[in-house]
Amino acid sequence: MAKPPEWIDEVLPGAESAVMAVVSKVLEQSPQKPQADTQASSTPDLAARQLVELDVKSVVFGKPTAGAKVKAWKPAGAYALREGNQGPFVLGASKDGGVEILGRYGPDTWPEGLVREAAKRHKKS
């Protein structure tokens, strides 16, 4: 059973920026961990960590500007990104040559309006 997304108000205080962006390239794909041999009919699977390039279309808050290219790490988790994925990306601190994508399900975690409303509540916009 999939976990629900985190509440935006739990994630936003730790965010450095939020952008509307498109994944323009997958720059690095960590090796997928092999699944344990089991008799279970369904086991939770984590997609490997990825480094992607985001083409920023607009900025909700934070440093990037529209038109910027941002390297971002998608942590190992319940989803994988591919070129063309788009939506709001909530981004954390810089590390390992990129910023961290926050949220359990990437750009599908929260709709744009919800991110913008939460940014106002948290005085980030």
- The mean per-residue pLDDT over the stretch 73-79 comes to 91
Q: Is residue 100 part of a domain?
A: yes
Q: Is residue 3 part of a domain?
A: no
Q: Is residue 17 part of a domain?
A: yes
Q: What is the CATH number of the domain that holds 17?
A: 2.40.50.120
CA 22 to chain centre: 11
As for how many domains the chain has, the answer is 1
Q: Is residue 5 part of a domain?
A: no
**Domain region containing 89:** 10-28+47-121
Q: Are residues 105 and 89 in contact, defined by beta-carbon separation less than 8 angstroms?
A: no
Q: Is residue 56 part of a domain?
A: yes
Task: Tell me what pLDDT residue 30 has.
Answer: 86
Q: Is residue 112 part of a domain?
A: yes
Task: Say which residue the tokens 């344990």 belong to.
Answer: 36
Other residues' Cβ atoms within 10 Å of the Cβ of residue 90: 28
pLDDT range class, residue 106, cuts 50, 70, 90: confident
Q: Is residue 88 part of a domain?
A: yes
Tokens of 88: 């709001």
Tell me how far CA of residue 106 lies from CA of 30, 34, 36, 79, 98, in angstroms. 17, 23, 26, 7, 15
Signed CA dihedral, 85, 87, 93, 98: sign only:
positive
CA 25 to chain centre: 14
Q: Is residue 4 part of a domain?
A: no
Residues of the chain with pLDDT > 70: what percent?
88
pLDDT tens column, 14-69 = 999 999 999 999 999 988 766 666 665 555 578 899 999 999 999 999 999 999 99
